[in-house]
Amino acid sequence: MDLSKYDELKVLIASILHLSKDATHIYVGFFSLIATVVVFRKPLTSSVVLLPGFVLSFGIEVFDVLVDYLQSRPIRLGASLHDLMNTNLIPVLLVTLAWWQRKSNRPLI
């Protein structure tokens, strides 16, 4: 199984966008949250809107670990957990803040 094209695609996207890999993960998480809210018309207070971002980021990390394994590189689980956190932290915080605001009926600012 040759996943080198996947690795090349990630490098190409990062170079086109002029973003670091960490920044790319943050954007993927944020845009998956916004796309889910818009496409499925779910409120930001619904925890369901987090699911696509979790699935997408987990899938990306599975491919990353698989590429490392197939290319006989050390598997970096710490780096994968870091990437999962980078991808999902802002969406989780936004949903939590929206839920807290709705629950307390207070303005955000």
Q: What is the pTM (predicted TM-score) of this model?
A: 0.84
How much of the chain, in percent, has pLDDT values that exceed 90? 56
CA atoms within 13 A on the CB side of 105: 0
**pLDDT tens-place string over residues 49-102:** 999 999 999 999 998 898 888 888 898 999 999 999 999 999 999 999 999 988
> H or E segment at 1?
none
CA distance 11 to 58: 19
Task: Indicate if the pLDDT at residue 8 is higher than 90.
Answer: no
Which pLDDT belongs to residue 32?
A: 96
Return the sign of the alpha-carbon dihedral for residues 10, 80, 65, 77. Answer: positive
Task: Indicate if the pLDDT at residue 1 is higher than 60.
Answer: no
